[in-house]
Amino acid sequence: MIYKNSYFVKELRQAYIENRISIKRKLILGIIVAFISIFIHFITLSLKESVFSDIFPHLMQNSYFSALYSYIAIFCFLNIVYFVVKYEYITFSEIRNNRWYLLVKMGYNPQNLIYKKIAAMLLTLIFMYTTGFSIIIITIFFLKYTFVYNYLSALYLIGLLDLTVTCIIGATISLFSTRLNLTRLIFIVVSAFLYVLKILTGYSEVISNPELLLFNGTLTAFDVSNSWYYVIVGFIVLSCLIICFCRAKEIAKYYSFANDNINNLPIGTKLARLDERTKRFFLINKKNINYKKVKIIDISIIFILIAIFIVSVLSNIFAIIISTSKSDKMFTVNDVIPYIITDTVSNVVDENDIAFFKKSDASMSIENGNLILYENNDEINVGHIKSTDMNSVTVDVNTIEKSSVIGVCYKRNRWFGVLILFTTTVAGRFLFIFIPAMILFLYKPLKKIMSRIIRSV
């Protein structure tokens, strides 16, 4: 909604939304996102001895950098989700809904309204982002991480500029489509494109390198010699701002008839328009409502909930079975033994990988270099075969009988090992027990909530 007086204040509070956002609520939202980030930071630390350390080493450190980097990523992601859900209200879609039409005709300055709209949008996000950023720093201080202030300003600016780019591009997109769902989809695609652009320009490597930000200063991420990302994005943002002011000012003068609203009328309703020249009425063709779409949505939600329930339960059961396996009671599926590696073995398997061993029998050939699962002194071990003879094999520094070989490795999966590792943590146990219980006892309310969200989007 647009107000004659204190429009800027109304925009800051988003007073047109049923549950409007006051300063207090913004503060709470910033704090909630901060604590969610800290929780996820602890979860990532529990997965340190896994493939995550190879792919995301910058998130696996007991440092301010890892905690703040996680916060920036989570806040930017939730900001995209918030934009998609509230897109109609926080962007220029309200112009498409004719909320500025009468005001412009009454003499209001659309350019002034555009300034205030963009400023309110950015200030709201900056306030919440800064609140969460400060909470992260204060909370991590009590964990006694080494305080390194050198890269704090760089990280703050990185997150702030990401939010600014997302907001301005989102506002611009809203000026070119009358179909809300299509506009949301375009916004999601553009957000994904920006993420890919960070990777292609090498920007992701720059901002995920704490040493580079630490020794080269705050402006390292914006140095053209490191990445051209901000040159490209800067040009895009500048173009979007020019388009926003020109396009918004122009379309605010015209009334937009939303054809999509025709489909929301009751069944059997007929619409007609008056031809000004002939003074005759003509029926407007109403698109058939696809009732099958509603059923597809409901069935999809049911399948999603069932899939989440089954995966959670099976992950728990699988983790328990593997962790309680003994030499005389190894868990076997079609003569295949899944086994979690507890120590790195050469360069073949790493700690917490899950390896699959083909169960050994008299007919199986065992060769030098094979990775085997074997029993030695009532303990189960994994090792490489150095040499073999008729009745025994030498594994690393041990010589064992061939009858002690339980299985020969033929495949490994690092990501499945991460899932099993996560289920053994406190957070994993809680989530994989809580989620099935919640789905089981709150199935109908969850189905209604998911259905409402999907249909609103």
- pLDDT at position 102 is 64
Q: How confident is the model at residue 388 (pLDDT cuts 50, 70, 90)?
A: confident
pLDDT for 210 = 81
pLDDT of residue 132: 92
pLDDT band at 131 (very low <50, low <70, confident <90, very high): very high
* Domain spanning 325-422: CATH superfamily: Umud Fragment, subunit A (2.10.109.10)
Quick one: pLDDT band at residue 316, thresholds 50, 70, 90? Answer: confident
Identify the pLDDT of residue 290.
Answer: 47
pLDDT in tens, 230-283: 899 999 999 988 888 887 777 666 655 554 455 555 666 666 666 666 667 666
Query: Pick the residue with more confidence: 417 or 155?
Result: 155
* Mean pLDDT on 10-14: 57
Three-class secondary structure assignment of 11-23: HHHCCCCCCCCCH
**Residues of the chain above pLDDT 70, percent:** 73
| Higher-confidence position of 445 and 45 | 45
- The pLDDT, as a whole number, for residue 248 is 73
Q: Is the pLDDT of residue 103 over 80?
A: no
Domain locations in the chain as residue ranges: 7-256, 291-321+425-456, 325-422
Backbone angles phi, psi at 281, to 5 degrees: -95, 140
DSSP state of 285: P
**For position 358, what pLDDT does the model report?**
80
Q: Which residues of 217-242 are buried (b: 16+ CB within 10 A; e: fewer)?
A: ebebbbeeebbebbeebeebbeebee
Specify the DSSP class assigned to residue 135: H
Q: How far, in whole angstroms, is CA 168 from its chain's centroid?
A: 21
What pLDDT does residue 77 have? 92
Say how far apart CA 257 and CA 40 lie, in whole Å. Answer: 46
Of 16-25, 61-70, 103-112, 403-412, which has the strongest mean pLDDT?
61-70
pTM above 0.85, yes or no: no
The residues, any chain, with a CB within 8 Å of residue 328's CB and separated by 6 or more, are none
CB atoms closer than 10 angstroms to residue 380: 15
User: Shortest CA distance to 133 belongs to which of 73, 77, 219, 82?
Assistant: 73
Q: Which of 351-360, 396-405, 414-423 has the lowest mean pLDDT?
A: 396-405
pLDDT-wise least confident of 52-61, 272-281, 391-400, 420-429 = 272-281
Residue 403: what pLDDT? 72
> What are the tokens at 9?
């204040």
Confidence category of residue 309, pLDDT binned at 50, 70, 90: confident
pLDDT of amino acid 18 = 46
Q: What is the pLDDT of residues 181-212, one digit of tens each?
A: 778 888 889 999 999 999 998 888 888 888 77
Dump pLDDT digits (tens) for 25-82. Answer: 788 888 999 999 998 888 888 888 777 777 888 888 888 888 899 999 999 999 888 8
Q: Which residue has the higher pLDDT, 410 or 137?
A: 137
72/450 Cα distance (integer angstroms): 27
From 23-27, 172-176, 224-228, the region with the lowest mean pLDDT = 23-27
d(CA 98, CA 253): 9
Rounded average pLDDT over 325-344: 68
Flag whether pLDDT at 431 surpasses 80.
Answer: no
Q: What is the pLDDT of residues 322-334, one digit of tens each?
A: 666 655 566 777 7
Tell me which of 141-155, 210-224, 270-284, 349-363 is least confident: 270-284
pLDDT at 329: 61
Query: What's the pLDDT score for residue 71?
Result: 93
Quote the tokens at residue 95.
């112009």
Q: Which residue has the higher pLDDT, 159 or 119?
A: 159
Give me the chain's average pLDDT, please. Answer: 76
- Three-state SS at 262: helix
